Chains A and B, each alone.
Chain A
Amino acid sequence: MSSSQPQAPKRLSWPLSLDTTTSNESKPSSRKSSNTRVSFEDDSSSKDVMWVDRFTPRSSKELCVAPKKVKEIRNWIEDALKHRENKLMVLVGSPGIGKSTTVRVLANEMDLDVLSWNASYVPRSHATFQSNTVSVQQTSAIDSFRDFLQHSGTGFSSLQMSGEDHSASRRESIILLEELPNLHGLEAARRFREMMSHHMSRSQAPTVLIFSDVSEGKHRPDDLEKLIDPTVLYSSSASIRQIHPATKPQMKKVLDRICKQTKCKVSEGLLEELHFRSGGDIRYAVMNLQVHVPGSSPRSSSKTIIGNGRDVKLSTFHALGKLLYAKRKEENGKTILAFNPDNTLERSDLGIRNSLRFLEYHSVDFFTDIADLSCAFDLYSDAASLLDHPDWSRSDTSFMEPYAASVAGRTVAETNKNPAPRKFRQFSTPKIFDVLRKRRENQHLFHQLERKVAGMHLSMSNAIGQASSFNTDTLPYLRTIAPNDVNPHVDNLYSITGQPALSRDHQRNETDKILEDQTAILEMDDIVDYDTDGSGNGMKPQMDQPTSHLPPKAKVESIDYKADNCKNDPASVSPCEPEIIVIDD
């Protein structure tokens, strides 16, 4: 993300420079030569610098991002400065693929100031100079962020406001948000959203938000909506752009360049392996190169990469798919599982408790024999009871989790003797979460109702406690006796029991609807490339996109998150085979 931080030391010395982390300020030399060749600093002075910082791209040509994408971003910024209608761009992509660097480099080329916030930002009004010491008042990060937005929203860096350089103060600036204040807690999140909306409505400078909270290359719309109000996020003044990880040729080009600069030789194999291990994370690749290149590391001339590479974090669906499809492979004449069940749940980003619910919910579809399924459910039930033994409820229960995970992880592999044919399946969030939430709501409603009924007759004090007997005994009859009191509050089971034939249809419609919704979400997540429609409206397909069921084949491609890189370059290999998620027959 912030691989381009030659200005990092500058930032740290802040109070005196009053937070102008403008790219120009920190790299005056590169301004002139921005469009020509790279000017690297003297080797002697940069001996100790990390290569990531030393070889930060100085021009857009060196960027490891698709040129088309760079051009789009450049156009957007130009438009934004001209019309002042485009206010916000969200760059989405996994960490280390050069999102912030792109913005900084472009700003540099376009002669713009980059204003960015970090946690040590303190607005000028809060700092007072007393002789040589600077006393800084404590402010919360979110307040400081608000002040930053207010200052920078004027479109000028605060330093130039102070009037040192009047000619330069006419230079435009762009706001780059990489680091955000701590947003835990509803209140903070709400304030942040308000702040952003407010900022968007009055800011003169275009704002770029870097969002790298992604899993396997994709973000969850919810996460983004937590930061920015959906009405703003999906309005025409905002656009969301996905940056893809570096492809193999791109990364090779960069690594080659670095090798040439440092006059060291690396084998083709190492480069390829670097790309494979990094999964397109250019920062990671460069760091590893520095470690492994002979001469620069204490361990000279190592040909292969030490260590296990990046720990791949499996997305929920990936992990579940592994466990549920329970692929086996041949090894030494024996058929063994193609994965390690213990590892898989450990690596997934859900906890074991939620994973268990997911597994149990989706297992049914993978079985054909009820006896197998019964065994599986027995094991899930075992795992569930391992997770909440009442005697341990107050103390540490986590020591049981590995056991539960182990049981749950092996369940399908062990019990499913007659698996269902492989086909595409949709993984959705288990309904049980919805059920539990609705139950809480209903419980509350029932309770209110109970109180209302009892209100006329306190002596029986039905008004206190939540007797389940009210739900099972009183309520059903109450519906008959005093329908006016009850019906507006709660839907009841009669709607279904009354007309059994109708009910099944009704339920099927319901599941169909859910399926359609899910398809729509899938399409929104995976298929709609935010770039192809160009209008920046890629995030609003809920209405526009047809919600028809796509043939499985289409989804196969859509789920492969590297799909469009592959199209550009058929030779490139996605670092992570999506073999699990989708299997067609």
Chain B
Amino acid sequence: MLWVDKHRPSSLTALSYHGSISQRLESLAQKPESLPHLFFYGPSGSGKRTRITALLGAIFGSSANRLKLDQRTFTTPTGRTVEIHMVTSPHHVELSPGDAGNNDRFVIQDVLKELAATKNIRSSVANMDKDSQQADAAAEIKVVVLNQVDRLSKQAQAALRRTMEKYAATCRLILCCDNPSKLIAPLRSRCLGIRVPAPSITEIVGVLNAVAQKENLTLSDAFAEKLAKESNRNLRKALLMLEAAKVQAGGNQLGADQILPSTDWELYISQLAQDITNEQSPSRLMAAREKLYELLVNCIPATTILKKLTGELISSLDDSLKLEVLEWAAFYEHRIAMGSKEIFHLEAFVAKFMAIYKKYLNDMFADDF
């Protein structure tokens, strides 16, 4: 089991940072019958889902951890069937409706309807939990956790809006995604928004040290800080890096001079950035295109590629060009987000950068003489 999963806190009290959020969730868990719909958002690797799981545990007790993986098949009105995997416990269902693609709204409606129609058998829960009175109240409601709601189509979000109110008596929704702006405003206003910010460097260092201690690892402070910085304050990434570094080091000592494990695709993109800064020509663009293809084949999202590439390009750029390049990067990222033909926009950006940079070099050359 990966350390990320192994050392994940399972209760609200065990959470090591964002104390105020934990307190708030704690108080919400006290009165499950008045639990509002919740909307967790924040950058990836900040602990949104850890908090959701912990909250469910606090509300329903240990039975919320009796999970099983279900595969469900839905039939759309047009007769198409969609297969969705979901994780279920006696009290909640967790699914990622974006998996259903265009048919996501049927999936959401079906799941909510079905949940609302059935009720828990109270006794089975009551016997198990220490605090049976709270569990009684809790058993009245069911929770649907929707992951990656930013991938929901507009239609599905509109459908959700009505369904949320209709089944509010028995069903609570917990939505979770990175970027709240992809959720339509009516949905946001129906939920209690909980922003989970990325942990600070010191918080990450704290977690890293705690994990290192549990794993009998000697972790130097300098290296821990390096990891935290390199991870972009993404705790999941930091922990994975720690584990990878440990495997690479081969021992239980991680000194300050330990090489940072880097991701292959990031290395690859920085190579690509170097390539296109070194030479600007159609043939170089062909080479760059091959690299872009390689990245896409490896399922790196186009927006991620563009973002990382821009970052790499900007770092070595003259200040006078930064603004223009950034502007185009934003322009093309917007286009990628709007449509489905990402490669056009990626290549157009690379060509645009080459053109700008070459003009800059030529002008400089002309000035010198």
Does A364 make an interface contact (CB < 8 A)?
Answer: yes
Does B299 make an interface contact (CB < 8 A)?
Answer: yes
Closest CB in chain A relative to B179 CB, distance in Å: 12
Pick from B147, B299, B335: contact of A465, CB under 8 Å: B147
Does B170 make an interface contact (CB < 8 A)?
Answer: no
- Give the complex CA separation of A465 and B340 in angstroms: 20
Does A385 make an interface contact (CB < 8 A)?
Answer: yes
**Contact: A442 with B247, CB < 8 Å?**
no
**Contact: B240 with A481, CB < 8 Å?**
yes
**Contact: A466 with B341, CB < 8 Å?**
no
- Give the complex CA separation of A356 and B345 in angstroms: 13
**Contact: B299 with A464, CB < 8 Å?**
no
Interface of A is mostly: helix
**A492-B234 CB under 8 A given contacts A384-B341, A465-B98, A465-B148:** no
Give the segment of B183-191, B196-204, B258-266 that binds chain A: B258-266
**A481-B243 CB under 8 A given contacts A374-B352, A458-B87:** yes
Does A543 make an interface contact (CB < 8 A)?
Answer: no
Does B217 make an interface contact (CB < 8 A)?
Answer: no
Q: Which residue of B lies closest to A365 (CB)?
A: B282
Residues of A within 8 A of B68 (CB): 458
- Give the complex CA separation of A279 and B280 in angstroms: 46
**Contact: B351 with A377, CB < 8 Å?**
yes
Residues of B within 8 A of A584 (CB): none
**Contact: A381 with B345, CB < 8 Å?**
yes
Closest CB in chain A relative to B218 CB, distance in Å: 19
Does B301 make an interface contact (CB < 8 A)?
Answer: yes
Does A186 make an interface contact (CB < 8 A)?
Answer: no
Residues of B within 8 A of A443 (CB): 299
Closest CB in chain B relative to A558 CB, distance in Å: 26
- Give the complex CA separation of A15 and B165 in angstroms: 66
- Give the complex CA separation of A133 and B282 in angstroms: 74
**A360-B344 CB under 8 A given contacts A368-B282, A370-B280, A471-B299:** yes
**Contact: A370 with B285, CB < 8 Å?**
yes
- Give the complex CA separation of A462 and B264 in angstroms: 22
**Contact: B53 with A460, CB < 8 Å?**
yes
Give the segment of B118-126, B134-142, B287-295, B318-326 that binds chain A: B287-295
Pick from B69, B299, B304, B358: contact of A463, CB under 8 Å: B69
**Contact: A371 with B359, CB < 8 Å?**
yes
Give the segment of B1-9, B15-23, B25-33, B74-82 that binds chain A: B1-9
- Give the complex CA separation of A20 and B133 in angstroms: 86
Total contacting residues, chain A, CB less than 8 A: 71
Does B338 make an interface contact (CB < 8 A)?
Answer: yes
Does A494 make an interface contact (CB < 8 A)?
Answer: yes
- Give the complex CA separation of A476 and B282 in angstroms: 31
Does B355 make an interface contact (CB < 8 A)?
Answer: yes
- Give the complex CA separation of A377 and B300 in angstroms: 22
**A468-B301 CB under 8 A given contacts A374-B355, A492-B264, A497-B271:** yes
**Contact: A364 with B348, CB < 8 Å?**
no
**Contact: A385 with B234, CB < 8 Å?**
no
- Give the complex CA separation of A58 and B113 in angstroms: 74
Residues of A within 8 A of B358 (CB): 370-371
- Give the complex CA separation of A374 and B348 in angstroms: 6
Does A136 make an interface contact (CB < 8 A)?
Answer: no
- In the complex, which range does the number of interface residues on chain B fall in? 35 or more
**A477-B261 CB under 8 A given contacts A439-B297, A465-B98, A468-B299:** yes
- Give the complex CA separation of A457 and B65 in angstroms: 11
- Give the complex CA separation of A381 and B346 in angstroms: 9
Give the segment of A29-37, A430-438, A548-556, A564-572 that binds chain B: A430-438
- Give the complex CA separation of A242 and B186 in angstroms: 65
Closest CB in chain A relative to B184 CB, distance in Å: 14
**Contact: B261 with A497, CB < 8 Å?**
no
Does A367 make an interface contact (CB < 8 A)?
Answer: yes
- Give the complex CA separation of A460 and B5 in angstroms: 7
Residues of A within 8 A of B98 (CB): 465-466
**Contact: A364 with B344, CB < 8 Å?**
no
Q: Which residue of B lies closest to A480 (CB)?
A: B244
Q: Which residue of B lies closest to A435 (CB)?
A: B293
Closest CB in chain B relative to A555 CB, distance in Å: 22
Does B354 make an interface contact (CB < 8 A)?
Answer: yes
Residue of A370, A389, A474 with highest tally of chain B CB at under 10 A:
A370
Residues of B within 8 A of A439 (CB): 296-299
**A477-B241 CB under 8 A given contacts A374-B355, A464-B147:** yes
Does A168 make an interface contact (CB < 8 A)?
Answer: no
**Contact: B352 with A378, CB < 8 Å?**
yes
Does B332 make an interface contact (CB < 8 A)?
Answer: yes
Q: Which residue of A lies closest to B53 (CB)?
A: A459
Does B236 make an interface contact (CB < 8 A)?
Answer: yes
Residues of A within 8 A of B10 (CB): 459
- Give the complex CA separation of A365 and B286 in angstroms: 8
Pick from A371, A454, A462, A492: contact of B298, CB under 8 Å: A492
- The proximity string for A residues 372-390 relative to B, scoring 1 for CB distances below 8 Å and 0 otherwise, is 0111111011001101111
Residues of B within 8 A of A455 (CB): 69
Residue of A463, A466, A493 with highest tally of chain B CB at under 10 A:
A493
- The proximity string for A residues 386-411 relative to B, scoring 1 for CB distances below 8 Å and 0 otherwise, is 01111000100000000000000000
Could you pull out 14 A-B pairs where Cβ atoms are within 8 angstroms? A369-B282, A394-B155, A439-B299, A442-B298, A455-B69, A471-B298, A477-B237, A477-B263, A478-B2, A479-B264, A481-B240, A481-B244, A496-B294, A497-B271
- Which residues of A are interface residues toward B (Cβ below 8 A)? 356, 360, 364-365, 367-371, 373-378, 380-381, 384-385, 387-390, 394, 420, 431-432, 435-436, 438-439, 442-443, 446, 451, 453-469, 471-474, 476-482, 490, 492-494, 496-497, 500, 507
- Among all A-B residue pairs, the 8 with the closest Cβ atoms: A465-B96, A374-B355, A476-B263, A477-B240, A377-B348, A493-B264, A381-B348, A374-B351
Can you add 11 more A-B contacts, CB < 8 Å, to A380-B348, A436-B296? A364-B282, A374-B352, A389-B339, A431-B293, A464-B84, A465-B98, A468-B304, A476-B264, A492-B298, A493-B268, A494-B264
